[in-house]
Each structure stands twice: as C-alpha cells, then as structure tokens.
C-alpha cells in the first residue's frame, strides 16, 4: 500500500446506483522505479502522508447511468458455435503459469432446459512465443484442461431457469516471465472450433526490483453507460493486470424474465419469493470484457451481487462466480475460490473475499501461499 500511495494514480468513479461506485487505479511503473532508486526501497504508510496525483471526480456521474442492453454489439454474441467467446486470462500462483478461460455453445433460458454436455467439446490452448504464420502448422505447444456448465434454477411459479454454455478452463505451465505469447483456444478437431490468435505478456518473476508496469483496480463495474467509459479509459491506459474486486455484472438487479434492471430489487419487488438473477447479463459482460480480458490477466473476487441465491430458500449461492472464473486457489494452497493469492513480480497479492465464514476458516500466509 505504501507504493500505491506514492505512485501516480489516475482515478475514475461512476455510479451504478447512487450507493455503488467504481474505482479505477492505474499504477505506472516509473514512479515505483524512481522510489527504488532514490530511497533504496518501497516507502510504507509510516513514511507518509503522501500527496497523490488524482483526476477530479466528474460529478455528473452521480446521476447514475442506464444499463447497456444485451442487443448492444459489445454485449451480443459475436462468435458462432463452436467458436469460443468470452475469452479471459487469469494469473496462476506465479508468472510461469497462466489460466485461459472461454465459453462455447449457447446458454438457454426457459422452464424445462437440457444442459449442454461439457464432454462433447475439447478444451485446448495452442500457444508459443511467435505468432502462427501461413507457412507453419501452428503454435508449437498445446495445453488441455476441463469444462463445465452451471445452472440457475428456481422452483417457483413464473420464474425462468438458466443453463450456461460450456465454460472451459485451461492452465498453461512452463511459461517464461515477462514474455509475450501468442495463443488460440477452443477445439482443434472442429471446423471453426479455434479462436482467432490473441497474445499476452506474462507477469514479471518475483524479485525485489521487478513489478508489473501498471495495475488497474476496478470494483462495482456493472454494465452501464458509465461502465463502458470506465473500461474504455482502462484500455487506453494499457494495464499489465486487472484486479476486479466484486460486483461485476449486477445480474441480480433483474427478474429472470429480463427487461430492465432496478436500483433496489427488494424495493421494486417486495413480494418476490427469492432474489432473482438474470444470468444472460453475465454472458453479455463476458463479451463486453473480452477485448481486454483476452490479453490482460484479470483477477477476481466476489461481492454481494455475486451471491445470487437459487433453489428452495436460496440454498445454493455463487454458482456463476464459481463456474465462470479460473483463479489460482489450488496452486496457492487455498481450498476455495473465495480467497487465494499469487505473485506478480515483487508483489504478493492476497484476494480475500468478504463472504467466507471466518468462524470456520483461517487464512494462513506462508511462503507465498494462502492455506486453509
């Protein structure tokens, strides 16, 4: 936190509702390097107070913002099955490995649904340090992973159910830190089954003088007009990594029939049998984030809008969050996606969710890992 306080910080705030804000922090590499040279180390808060460089808050954003409709080209499906969509990257416990996630097939909404078969399509990532060209077979390395589907089910009259497309997670290993890799993901056995070529740069190796060039921290993003300006601003500043700290889609501000989201679900629908969630907003959010998330690692943790209770009495929670995102929980010694840790250069990040029963769970940080 000391380094963050002394770095140049560009901030963007917006309201999803009057009580929800998005904070975007962009941490340039150069001020940190300057501090290392001049001070021999990273200052802590004990060396403060520090005067940050900030951007003035645009008070017009206090008025809130309309949701972006799913018909918007940024949210509508762009890939036709079996081509991958909603491609996203996530760091593993250290820069020698990285997760690639994507979705194939079409989600379904209705009363009586048959989930897709996740074993019917392969989960492959073809990758290498050079782009594939017309005179080569393709990328020299391939990694394979797992796939799953999840459902959001409501045993109440009038509520519609949802079952997802096939969600794939593949972990690449043996990567070199601070190196650009080119990749395609999908199923190479199917015509049109692989994505277009994308690329990413691995994070720096753990060292006292190696840091991500720029880190973005975003919370309460949602899918509004303000969300689009925030993500556009983020992309222009070219971060090395994104920390997405909860309340991502606000899918739980909708009835299961879709329509328009509301600022306060319980106020608008006091007689609803359960807090509903319109899961297609998650698919729209994945497409909306893909241009950035498919080239920059995005690390997530859950917020209250990810609880999304379903079933009798809301017995099942967090189904979408747990299925859609790959995080380095197992690699960092955690037994849950609600908390985990990872290294990015000389920084050890601990992602600690606020919805873990701390009466039964203890987080121990030991040798760069999170253990329960």
Q: Which residue has the tokens 């209705």?
A: 110
Domain assignment present for residue 213? The answer is yes
How high is the mean pLDDT of the chain?
Answer: 85
Mean pLDDT of 350-367: 67
Domain assignment present for residue 41? The answer is no
Domain assignment present for residue 197? The answer is yes
Domain assignment present for residue 21? The answer is no
Domain assignment present for residue 2? The answer is no
Q: Examine the pLDDT at 128 and tell me if it is beyond 50.
A: yes
Domain assignment present for residue 46? The answer is no
Q: Give the pLDDT score at 22.
A: 37
Domain assignment present for residue 40? The answer is no
Q: Give the pLDDT score at 2.
A: 35
Q: Give the pLDDT score at 67.
A: 94
Q: Which band of pLDDT confidence, cut at 50, 70 and 90, is reported for residue 1? A: very low
Q: Give the pLDDT score at 245.
A: 94
Of the candidates 90, 83, 75, the one whose C-alpha atom is nearest the C-alpha of residue 196 is: 83
What residue numbers bound the domain in which 286 lies? Answer: 65-233+240-331
> Tell me: the pLDDT tens digits for 203-252?
999 998 899 999 999 999 999 998 999 999 999 999 999 999 999 999 99
Q: Give the pLDDT score at 68.
A: 95
Domain assignment present for residue 124? The answer is yes
Decide if 32 contacts 248 (C-beta within 8 A): no
> Tell me: the pLDDT tens digits for 57-99?
777 766 778 999 999 999 999 999 999 999 999 999 999 999 9
Q: Examine the pLDDT at 136 and tell me if it is beyond 80.
A: no
Q: Examine the pLDDT at 30 and tell me if it is beyond 50.
A: no
The distance of Cα 216 from the centroid of its chain, to the nearest Å, equals 12
Give the count of domains, the chain.
Answer: 1
φ/ψ (deg, to 5) at 45: -65, -20
> CA angle at residue 179 from 174 to 185, to 5 degrees?
65
Mean pLDDT of 297-307: 97
Q: Give the pLDDT score at 268.
A: 96
Q: Give the pLDDT score at 59.
A: 79
Q: Give the pLDDT score at 358.
A: 60
Task: Residue 317: give its domain's CATH number.
Answer: 2.60.40.380
> How many residues are there in the chain?
372
> Tell me: the pLDDT tens digits for 146-194?
999 999 999 999 999 999 999 999 999 999 999 999 999 999 999 999 9
């Amino acid at each position: 936190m000391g380094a963050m306080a002394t770095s140049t910080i560009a901030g963007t705030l917006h309201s999803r509702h009057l009580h929800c804000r998005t904070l975007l922090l962009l941490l340039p590499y150069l001020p940190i390097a300057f501090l290392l040279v001049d001070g021999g180390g990273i200052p802590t808060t004990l060396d403060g107070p520090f005067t940050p460089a900030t951007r003035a808050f645009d008070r017009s954003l206090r008025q809130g913002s309309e949701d972006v409709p799913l018909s918007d080209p940024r949210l509508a499906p762009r890939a036709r099955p079996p081509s991958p969509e909603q491609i996203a990257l996530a760091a593993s416990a250290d820069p020698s490995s990285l997760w690639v996630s994507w979705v194939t097939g079409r989600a379904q909404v209705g009363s009586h649904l048959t989930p897709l078969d996740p074993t019917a399509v392969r989960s492959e990532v073809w990758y290498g340090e050079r782009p594939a060209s017309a005179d080569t077979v393709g990328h020299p390395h391939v990694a394979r992973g797992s796939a799953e589907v999840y459902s959001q089910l409501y045993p109440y009259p009038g509520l519609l159910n949802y079952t997802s497309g096939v969600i794939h997670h593949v972990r690449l290993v043996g990567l070199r830190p601070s190196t650009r890799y080119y990749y395609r993901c999908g199923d190479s056995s199917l015509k049109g089954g692989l994505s277009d070529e994308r690329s990413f740069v691995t994070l720096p190796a753990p060292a006292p003088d190696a840091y991500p060039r720029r880190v973005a921290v975003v919370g309460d993003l949602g899918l509004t007009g303000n969300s689009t300006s925030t993500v556009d601003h983020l992309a222009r500043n070219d971060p090395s990594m994104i920390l997405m700290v909860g309340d991502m889609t606000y899918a739980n501000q909708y009835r299961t029939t879709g329509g328009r989201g509301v600022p306060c679900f319980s106020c608008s629908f006091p007689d609803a049998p359960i807090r509903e969630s319109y899961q297609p907003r998650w698919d729209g959010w994945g497409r909306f984030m893909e241009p950035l998330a498919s080239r920059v690692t995005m690390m997530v943790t859950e917020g209250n809008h990810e609880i999304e209770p379903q079933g009798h009495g809301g017995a099942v929670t967090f189904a979408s969050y747990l299925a859609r995102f790959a995080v380095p929980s197992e690699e960092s010694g955690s037994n849950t996606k609600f908390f985990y840790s990872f290294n990015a250069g000389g920084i050890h990040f601990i992602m600690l969710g606020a919805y873990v029963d701390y009466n039964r769970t203890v987080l121990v940080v030991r040798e760069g890992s999170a253990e329960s």
